[in-house]
Chains A and B, each alone.
Chain A
């Protein structure tokens, strides 16, 4: 209960608030705000963030330049999509058939060409600074719109080291699944699933024992925030572990084969399947991290054979699956790498590769209030940079937050009480959400 004094003269008592309105609002406060209209009805109630780790080549996926010189354009040809005038790579045929469901951002640009820095940038919407760790989207969402007590707010598949809770505090950290699910197999998640050999009866039996033995502070639990908090979290942990809602959320075998089949058997596809299921169950934010995009060498073979087919299958199934369940309009989806790749092909291997290139990249957005079936922004004729005004990761982040009904100009306080907006620059992109 430390008192923090802030640079701007605000003093704040750091009160531990617990429960559904863990962000620091009590239910009563929340209801008052809601009545006063300060809690906006957002288009999206949940978010899925997909990080294509390594930095996918924009020119070989969603921003092809068939007319560029040979040393730029690469080996892939564009194909038409189900939206007139939009073309994407020939190796993404399934996505081409649902291009009406998502928007493509081209000519997105920044300057951080290292994996870690670029990743932190696109996972927070804020250019990393040394002095302060900015919270990732998932941490902000779990603070602003936490799930109910029996299900975690923020799940990372399998983990996402770039979306830390930062100055918001570790309680907004994600639950990491630790691994990706396998097709048709029940999925064990760290800490959530009851291990083999422990029966539900045994779980209840020892829980009763715990209740009877945990009496050292009897009578004082409600007088002390720490003790009250420990009690509350103990109850919630037990609920999560034993609630069917939570266990079933992670159990992808519960999906009908007809629904699950289009996702394919790849780890990425299965992650997308799990994400859709989690969102349906009430998890607020899911990140999927899927690597292999750092194609310095053999760019084309690797994309064609290893990277693009699972992406095409998994992502198109996710868009269609969410739409089929009626969840697409309430789920904000954001797909991005940490940067694009050099337009000019290098000579590191026989067929060449592409290197880190933050000056020009693509992103995808879908769901919630996003108008799909359009391209926003553009790169120049060799995809070496934005054609006119660049879209920044900050703008994309602002759009994403806006879509989730979170005021991106909202101020938080860092641990030493410095006032900080969630993202420093950037504004929502009107064409996407207007």
Chain B
């Protein structure tokens, strides 16, 4: 039956074209919508499978995921999800065993019989007998169910109007979608599109393309047909100040101008510029992940220079904390996860740190972003011209830090390719698209991306670039002899696993050379093979002869050494639609809490930027400034847009996507964790803080189960990036109950407040002249009690030696825990200015001086308590638990 069909198809496809063009539309005219052409049974047009039948099945919901689009199918019938696999759909309809169409008796076809019946179809009634839908399907079967082997290319899906403008709620505007085909035919395909809205509060759209306005604001209506996805800006001004009635607003920078241009359309007025205190706290947290020191705040407020904000930005850009924090962000984007790279080098936990160090050096030196990325994309273990033995020697030097060797000295950073979950080409393609393009292509791994142009074939072709690199636990094959030679010298006694690794470390300590794992290029395109042998070899090892960059024609790989090279060249290409945008957009998202494209790693046709001109300006500028990362930081941070207050005005309370004000954002996990340490630390501790960043949470290298120190509980509760699933959402900045419990009552926080030596509270106690009461654990108190009893007993009748021993033990306990018999000295040094200490508490937590009412309330609190130190403990606790502390605003 299939063969019979096939034959008929060939003969029909020619007929179809002529039939379509000739009688219905004259040249230059637009074909009327199919709903009109097939309103009645008459006419002689044969519907096209690609242009009409499959889109119609989509409109009717047949190929939805809950129905026949499910990967298991439904009722023994499976269609490709959202229908872009025309061949598979055609075969499913005409399957010999289970045909859904009956050429001999079209009305008995299951695809007519079932969906027109409420009873017999699990999916219910989908269309009526006698409707245009019915006529289309019926006619297609009646005319022999033709199938176009060669798909026709859709040149454009033109949606009219190009922008939907409303001026009140409940208004209705009809959009029309016109398909422009390669053959020159233009057809109104409105009834065949899938329509959706990006924000159903602002506007809704029905399946016939009727858009209804909701609350004022802006969003996009998305039309999808064939391979095209078109987003139409939809806008309803928020106030009556839009357009010509918008007040004149002087803008300082290009960024400001572009933002205000958009605000004008909506009638939104920007908020005031924030105060110096707000600016300093915001920019310090954003750029360096660090609270400003009390001293910084005081100095900044006294600074009278006009350009002091710009100066501050420069100063922060040159601090180690900037390099640490932005290295962490780059580790987020590239997925530095210690669980994934455990055995990528020796010692086995070193790779995440190496990964971090390598990026840190480049951020610190402000190496161009494309160059930094090239070191990862083209990463391999050996430097250019280096032998395997030299590589192993170099890694040994790094391990032992001989002559200050560090991994940052190596030319490239190969561990990106050594992650365990990213060994196969398709996973690598997904990860790569996320890291460097800000694009989610995983949908297309199984089906046509419903919100982007990518088909399954596009995905497969792109994946082929990534099969040619191998992460091995030994040398590349070309260095086999060297590997054997090193192995021969290393006496491993048949050791394996952890024992072997420890042995290797031992050898390296002694200056020996051990065989390191290697990431190398293994691209060997094979000559043409027949289908059989292809099947035996999975794609990842195939050494693809060609591959296609997203949206480009095929690239010949047969003469290329490293198939990642053309991908890197493409990233650097000024025409690359994603590379530069992805980076500037992520920076923007970090500074505003919302990307220009948001979520920032979902750049797709259906998710357009809220301000295209702004994104273009930054992306183009980044390229023109040769991918200078600091240029982007400066360009954003020096704008008034960044420096606006969070306080809304009469117009912009609900604005969350047009940057008319700053949005309060919860601090990132690492930053909160560090901020608690800083806020509760002594002045001396705080002075070290910004300079010595290595021990801070913002400088933790990897993510994963082996996180350093006791930070891991807090960091996971506050949603540190897990770097697991190739998604920016692996980092969470939403609040939850456990976070609050942590801040209010976790022993970590209590201990930090109470810490002696470098704690702020103990510094305050000294200032007050109070000998701080030491907290001695209950079991130690018991020990003291026993000792004291024994000492008393022995004083009466014991030997001198016994007495000396017991006294010595007591002394060592006192040294460690303090003496429980010490009386708390409650005499407070009256000269101490309590106001000054309260001000200090404010500066070190919320980075501002207290208002009068706040000062009065705090003073009252301190004075009503019997124990001043206890009261200051309460004050610092309260300040840490204000929303203001945990929020960047």
A230 touches B729 (CB 8 A): no
Given A9-B82, A209-B878, A216-B889; 8 other pairs, CB 8 A cutoff: A170-B716, A170-B717, A170-B738, A173-B738, A226-B664, A226-B887, A236-B737, A237-B745
Q: How far is the CB of A274 from chain B (nearest CB, A)?
A: 18
Answer yes or no: B362 CB below 8 A from chain A CBs. Answer: no
Most buried by A among B716, B717, B732, B877: B877
Q: How far is the CB of A424 from chain B (nearest CB, A)?
A: 12
The CA of A161 and the CA of B607, in the complex, are separated in Å by 36
The CA of A304 and the CA of B857, in the complex, are separated in Å by 64
Contact of A206 (CB < 8 Å), options: B725, B874, B883, B889 = B874
Contact residues of A between 218 and 244, Cβ < 8 Å to B: 220-221, 223-224, 226-227, 229-231, 233-234, 236-238, 240-241
B736 touches A224 (CB 8 A): no
Contacts A217-B883, A241-B745 known; A171 to B874 CB distance under 8 Å?
no
Answer yes or no: B440 CB below 8 A from chain A CBs. Answer: yes
B778 touches A196 (CB 8 A): yes
B450-487 contact mask (Cβ, 8 Å, vs A): 1 or 0? 11000000000000000000000000000000000000
Q: What are the residues of chain A within 8 A of B674 when measuring CB–CB?
A: none
A415 touches B746 (CB 8 A): no
Answer yes or no: B57 CB below 8 A from chain A CBs. Answer: no
A233 touches B879 (CB 8 A): no
The CA of A173 and the CA of B279, in the complex, are separated in Å by 35
B603-632 contact mask (Cβ, 8 Å, vs A): 1 or 0? 010110000000000000000000000000
* Interface locus among B45-53, B194-202, B562-570, B789-797: B194-202
Contact of B745 (CB < 8 Å), options: A133, A194, A223 = A194
B850-889 contact mask (Cβ, 8 Å, vs A): 1 or 0? 0000100110010001000010001101110111101101
B658-680 contact mask (Cβ, 8 Å, vs A): 1 or 0? 00000111100000000000000
Answer yes or no: B827 CB below 8 A from chain A CBs. Answer: no
Answer yes or no: A258 CB below 8 A from chain B CBs. Answer: no
B196-230 contact mask (Cβ, 8 Å, vs A): 1 or 0? 11111000000000000000000000000000000
The CA of A213 and the CA of B884, in the complex, are separated in Å by 10
Q: How far is the CB of A278 from chain B (nearest CB, A)?
A: 16
Nearest A residue to B600, CB-CB: A2
Contact of A227 (CB < 8 Å), options: B705, B741, B883 = B883
Contact of A233 (CB < 8 Å), options: B656, B727, B737, B889 = B737
A-B contact list, 8 entries, CB within 8 Å: A9-B65, A11-B198, A152-B737, A195-B750, A197-B775, A216-B889, A217-B884, A223-B654
Answer yes or no: A32 CB below 8 A from chain B CBs. Answer: no
The CA of A415 and the CA of B599, in the complex, are separated in Å by 11
Answer yes or no: A200 CB below 8 A from chain B CBs. Answer: no
Of the four ranges (under 10, 10 to 19, 20 to 34, 35 or more), the interface on chain B belongs to: 35 or more
B744 touches A190 (CB 8 A): no
Answer yes or no: A39 CB below 8 A from chain B CBs. Answer: no
A191 touches B745 (CB 8 A): yes
Q: What are the residues of chain B within 8 A of A38 when measuring CB–CB?
A: none
Nearest B residue to A188, CB-CB: B747
Answer yes or no: A328 CB below 8 A from chain B CBs. Answer: no
Answer yes or no: A192 CB below 8 A from chain B CBs. Answer: yes
Answer yes or no: A35 CB below 8 A from chain B CBs. Answer: no
Answer yes or no: B513 CB below 8 A from chain A CBs. Answer: no
A403-421 contact mask (Cβ, 8 Å, vs B): 1 or 0? 0000000000011101100
Q: What are the residues of chain A within 8 A of B732 when measuring CB–CB?
A: 169-170
Q: What are the residues of chain B within 8 A of A305 when measuring CB–CB?
A: none
Q: What are the residues of chain B within 8 A of A234 when measuring CB–CB?
A: 740, 744, 881, 883
Answer yes or no: B427 CB below 8 A from chain A CBs. Answer: yes
B741 touches A216 (CB 8 A): no
Contact of B738 (CB < 8 Å), options: A3, A7, A171 = A171
B308-347 contact mask (Cβ, 8 Å, vs A): 1 or 0? 0000000000000000000000000000000000000000
Answer yes or no: B64 CB below 8 A from chain A CBs. Answer: yes
Contacts A173-B717, A214-B883, A230-B735 known; A132 to B745 CB distance under 8 Å?
no
Contact of B727 (CB < 8 Å), options: A152, A217, A238, A416 = A416
Contact of B65 (CB < 8 Å), options: A8, A161, A217, A221 = A8
Contact residues of A between 74 and 109, Cβ < 8 Å to B: none
Q: What are the residues of chain A within 8 A of B648 when measuring CB–CB?
A: 220, 223
A394-434 contact mask (Cβ, 8 Å, vs B): 1 or 0? 00000000000000000000111011000000000000000
Contact residues of B between 149 and 171, Cβ < 8 Å to A: none
The CA of A192 and the CA of B747, in the complex, are separated in Å by 10
Q: How far is the CB of A296 from chain B (nearest CB, A)?
A: 15
B745 touches A213 (CB 8 A): no
Answer yes or no: B739 CB below 8 A from chain A CBs. Answer: yes
A177-211 contact mask (Cβ, 8 Å, vs B): 1 or 0? 00000000000001111111100001001100110
Nearest A residue to B718, CB-CB: A170
Most buried by B among A4, A234, A236: A234
Q: What are the residues of chain B within 8 A of A229 when measuring CB–CB?
A: 734-735
The CA of A161 and the CA of B716, in the complex, are separated in Å by 12
Q: What are the residues of chain A within 8 A of B602 when measuring CB–CB?
A: 5, 416
Q: What are the residues of chain B within 8 A of A210 when measuring CB–CB?
A: 877-878, 881-882
Contact residues of A between 48 and 92, Cβ < 8 Å to B: none
A213 touches B664 (CB 8 A): no
Contacts A1-B656, A202-B874, A209-B878 known; A192 to B745 CB distance under 8 Å?
yes
Q: What are the residues of chain B within 8 A of A11 when measuring CB–CB?
A: 196-198, 200
Q: How far is the CB of A371 from chain B (nearest CB, A)?
A: 31
Of the four ranges (under 10, 10 to 19, 20 to 34, 35 or more), the interface on chain A belongs to: 35 or more
Contacts A9-B194, A226-B666, A416-B440 known; A130 to B427 CB distance under 8 Å?
yes
Answer yes or no: A33 CB below 8 A from chain B CBs. Answer: no
B742 touches A213 (CB 8 A): no
Contact of A9 (CB < 8 Å), options: B450, B713, B739, B745 = B450
B887 touches A227 (CB 8 A): yes
Answer yes or no: B267 CB below 8 A from chain A CBs. Answer: no
Q: What are the residues of chain A within 8 A of B543 when measuring CB–CB?
A: none
Answer yes or no: A256 CB below 8 A from chain B CBs. Answer: no
Q: What are the residues of chain A within 8 A of B199 when measuring CB–CB?
A: 3, 13
Most buried by B among A176, A193, A217, A418: A217
Q: What are the residues of chain A within 8 A of B734 when measuring CB–CB?
A: 16, 169, 171, 226, 229
Contact of B598 (CB < 8 Å), options: A2, A231, A236 = A2
Q: How far is the CB of B650 from chain A (nearest CB, A)?
A: 13
Q: What are the residues of chain B within 8 A of A288 when measuring CB–CB?
A: none
Q: How far is the CB of A425 from chain B (nearest CB, A)?
A: 12
Q: What are the residues of chain B within 8 A of A213 when measuring CB–CB?
A: 854, 857-858, 878-879, 882
Contact residues of B between 408 and 449, Cβ < 8 Å to A: 420-421, 427, 440, 442-443, 447
Q: What are the residues of chain A within 8 A of B598 when measuring CB–CB?
A: 2-3
Nearest B residue to A217, CB-CB: B883
Q: How far is the CB of B818 from chain A (nearest CB, A)?
A: 14
Answer yes or no: B730 CB below 8 A from chain A CBs. Answer: yes
Contact of A3 (CB < 8 Å), options: B198, B750, B886 = B198
Answer yes or no: B724 CB below 8 A from chain A CBs. Answer: yes
Q: What are the residues of chain B within 8 A of A152 when measuring CB–CB?
A: 737
Q: What are the residues of chain B within 8 A of A191 when measuring CB–CB?
A: 738, 741-742, 744-747
B128-164 contact mask (Cβ, 8 Å, vs A): 1 or 0? 0000000000000000000000000000000000000
The CA of A234 and the CA of B737, in the complex, are separated in Å by 8
Q: How far is the CB of A324 from chain B (nearest CB, A)?
A: 32
Q: What are the residues of chain B within 8 A of A197 when measuring CB–CB?
A: 775
Answer yes or no: B846 CB below 8 A from chain A CBs. Answer: yes
Q: What are the residues of chain A within 8 A of B450 when measuring CB–CB?
A: 7-9
Nearest A residue to B604, CB-CB: A5
Q: What are the residues of chain B within 8 A of A416 when measuring CB–CB?
A: 440, 442, 602, 725, 727, 729
Q: What are the residues of chain B within 8 A of A220 when measuring CB–CB?
A: 647-648
Nearest B residue to A231, CB-CB: B883
B64 touches A8 (CB 8 A): yes
The CA of A336 and the CA of B594, in the complex, are separated in Å by 44
Q: What are the residues of chain A within 8 A of B65 when measuring CB–CB?
A: 7-9, 419
Contact of B725 (CB < 8 Å), options: A1, A132, A193 = A132
Q: How far is the CB of B714 from chain A (nearest CB, A)?
A: 11
